[in-house]
């Protein structure tokens, strides 16, 4: 699996971006991978690599680039301490709106590659990245065909940058996978978010993963659930292969 690190120039600076490609020569659909609040670390790199091995060119941008050097963070250690004291300063440097701004440059980078097939891309986000993927795809509706959010939180809040405010522009097919007991995405929030999707006529499917906790897809999280994670991978690959 070919791997490289590149620097993508955004409006706010240089975003270090990890690029994974399928082995061999050819052209493949492009996907942008929006990370969780734990940042870039071995487990996230491995997930991006797994997606590339399934036939996609995967961009994994370090969306904490505005903060500067950090980590790598070890989730088990982070969760044993004051989580927001550790992650809060990093998270404060980005958000749904800033990720959408960064996506313009990421799209331009994908467009510049000779190994990309087609001009509509996929987006997938985990935890914090779920809302970023949805908001970014809505900001560039003609450039995304499939979007997935896994245990994405705060998808419908009163914040100006809440993803549900932007879904009217979403043309991509959307898959939403949520934990069945998630304080970051409770049932009433899910109802509010899905109502916004229905009102906008978005093609979507939303599922609750019974027995899974917020963050279940991440193999380095204490709540990692292998059975639920494999189900998530099956759904993700089916979405991208269908839409890209």
State the CATH number of the domain containing residue 169.
Answer: 3.40.50.1820
Instruction: Give the Cα separation of 133 and 125 in Å (integer).
Output: 5
Residue 164's domain comprises 3-243
Give the Cα separation of 166 and 125 in Å (integer).
16
CA distance 150 to 127: 6
Write b or e for each residue in 167-186: b if 16 or more Cβ atoms lie within 10 A of its Cβ, otherwise e: beebbbbbbbbbbeebebbe
- pTM of the full predicted structure? 0.98
- List of E strands, 94-170: 121-126, 144-150
19 strand-pairing partners: 4, 59
Vertex 211 angle, CA 205 and 213, to 5°: 80
The pLDDT, as a whole number, for residue 123 is 99
Query: Pick from 9, 54, 30: which is nearest to 244 by CA?
Result: 30
In a structure prediction context, what are the per-residue pLDDT tens digits for the chain, which is 244 residues long? Answer: 899 999 999 999 999 999 999 999 999 999 999 999 999 999 999 999 999 999 999 999 999 999 999 989 999 999 999 999 999 999 999 999 999 999 999 999 999 999 999 999 999 999 999 999 999 999 999 999 999 999 999 999 999 999 999 999 999 999 999 999 899 999 999 999 999 999 999 999 999 999 999 999 999 999 999 999 999 999 999 999 999 9
> How many Å is the Cα radius of gyration of the chain?
16
**β pairing state of 3-10 and 13-20:** antiparallel
Q: Which token pair is 42? A: 């071995």
Q: How many domains, in total, are found in the chain? A: 1
**In the chain, which ranges are continuous DSSP H helix?**
42-53, 75-80, 83-91, 96-112, 128-139, 187-200, 226-243
Contact 126, 36 (CB under 8 A): yes
Q: Cβ(71)–Cβ(41) under 8 Å?
A: yes
């Amino acid at each position: 699996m070919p791997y490289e690190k590149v620097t993508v120039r955004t409006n706010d600076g240089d975003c270090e971006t990890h690029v994974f490609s399928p082995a061999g020569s050819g052209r493949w659909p492009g996907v942008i991978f929006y990370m969780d609040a734990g940042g870039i670390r071995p487990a996230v790199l491995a997930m991006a690599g797994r997606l590339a091995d399934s036939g996609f060119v995967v961009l994994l941008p370090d969306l904490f680039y505005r903060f500067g050097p950090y980590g790598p963070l070890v989730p088990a250690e982070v969760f044993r301490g004051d989580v927001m004291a550790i992650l809060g300063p990093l998270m404060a440097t980005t958000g749904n709106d800033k990720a959408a701004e960064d996506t313009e440059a990421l799209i331009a980078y994908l467009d510049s590659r000779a190994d990309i097939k087609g001009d509509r891309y996929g987006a997938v986000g985990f935890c914090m990245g779920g809302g970023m993927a949805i908001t970014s795809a809505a900001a560039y509706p003609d450039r995304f065909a499939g979007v997935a959010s896994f245990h994405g939180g705060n998808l419908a809040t009163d914040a100006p940058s809440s993803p549900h405010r932007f879904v009217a522009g979403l043309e991509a097919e959307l898959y939403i996978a949520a934990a069945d007991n998630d304080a970051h995405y409770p049932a009433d929030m899910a109802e509010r978010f899905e109502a916004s999707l229905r009102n906008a006529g978005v093609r979507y499917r939303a599922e609750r993963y019974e027995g899974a906790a917020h963050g279940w897809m991440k193999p380095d999280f204490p709540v990692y659930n292998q059975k639920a994670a494999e189900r998530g991978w099956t759904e993700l690959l089916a979405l991208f292969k269908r839409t890209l």
